[in-house]
Amino acid sequence: MARLSYAVLGLALFLLLWEAAPRLGLIQSLFLPPPSAIPGAFLGELRAGFWVDAVLASLGHYLLGLAVGTASGTALGIAAALNDRLEAGLSWVVRILRPVPGLAWVPFAVVWFGITEAAATFIIVVGVFWINYYAAFGAAKAVDRDLLEVADAFGHGGTWPRLVKVVLPGSTAGILAGVRTGLGQAWMAVVAAELFGVPGLGQRMMQASSLLATDVVVVYMITIAALYGLTDAIFVQVRDRLLAWQR
């Protein structure tokens, strides 16, 4: 209860300082609109239909990119952890590609896919892939090798039996930690993926900023934060159910 009280107090103080800064002339409201201006801007976007259209468009990019990036990154990470030759073969490919930020792929996304939803999805996939690759690789590598030997002794020595009976149960917590990190990374990638003209939250933010409608920009910033909070809360519930057997 005390922790919740401090959280509410901290948020209230933050909003108070934010409201006071433009009202006291410390900063122009054009550059930083006060919180009291945000509800009106939100209602304007909602009534015009812009907010719903942007959210639905971004959710489409987000969910598809998240699914493809998570599945492919996790699968390749586990495969590399279980196969020394594959790990060695990918070692320098990973070192070369991993440091390249998602924004650097935007020109290629436009050239390969045009200014389309596929281009936005590709940027999100790139942003999510490496997080899940490393999480799955590390989790699978950390599985106790003695357990694999026990599985061999009980007739589960093949790749598939070892994967299902030992590796996946032993690495699920680590894999899910990577998935959760990817949830947030994917929302950051959504904005980057839509800045070049693909319909969605990012595009609407750019349109508003070009008109100096900073209150509208804040509306969409808060929208992204709220959507991330919702997806993270849902994921935590699913994760707790999946890991209930470990308690």
For residue 233, the domain's CATH number is 1.10.3720.10
Specify whether the CB–CB gap between 212 and 246 falls below 8 A. Answer: no
Cα–Cα distances (Å) from 80 to 1, 90, 142, 189, in that order, read 46, 8, 13, 26
In whole numbers, what is the pLDDT of the chain averaged over residues? 86
Mean pLDDT for 205-215 is 88
Report the C-alpha gap between 113 and 76 in whole angstroms. 24
In a domain, 26, yes or no: no
Share of the chain above pLDDT 90, in %: 38
What was the pLDDT predicted at 239?
A: 87
Mean pLDDT for 96-108 is 86
Q: Which amino acid is at 62?
A: Y
In a domain, 136, yes or no: yes
Higher pLDDT, residue 148 or 58? 58
**With bands split at pLDDT 50, 70 and 90, how would you rate the model's confidence at 159?**
low
pLDDT higher than 90, residue 45: yes
What was the pLDDT predicted at 26?
A: 82
Task: Give 137: exposed, middle or buried? Use CB within 10 Å, 0-12, 13-18, 19+.
Answer: buried
Mean pLDDT for 78-84 is 86
38: closest CA among 223, 227, 228?
223
Give the burial string for 81-116 (b: 16+ CB within 10 Å, else e): bbeeeebeebeeebeeeeeeebeebbeebbeebeee
The pTM score is 0.85
Tally the domains of the chain. Answer: 1
Helix (H) or strand (E) holding 68: helix 50-82
Most confident of the following: 114-118, 167-171, 192-196? 114-118
Mean pLDDT for 127-140 is 91
Containing structural domain, residue 110: 89-247
What was the pLDDT predicted at 46?
A: 93
Report the C-alpha gap between 209 and 225 in whole angstroms. 18
**With bands split at pLDDT 50, 70 and 90, how would you rate the model's confidence at 196?**
confident
In a domain, 27, yes or no: no
Mean pLDDT for 206-234 is 91
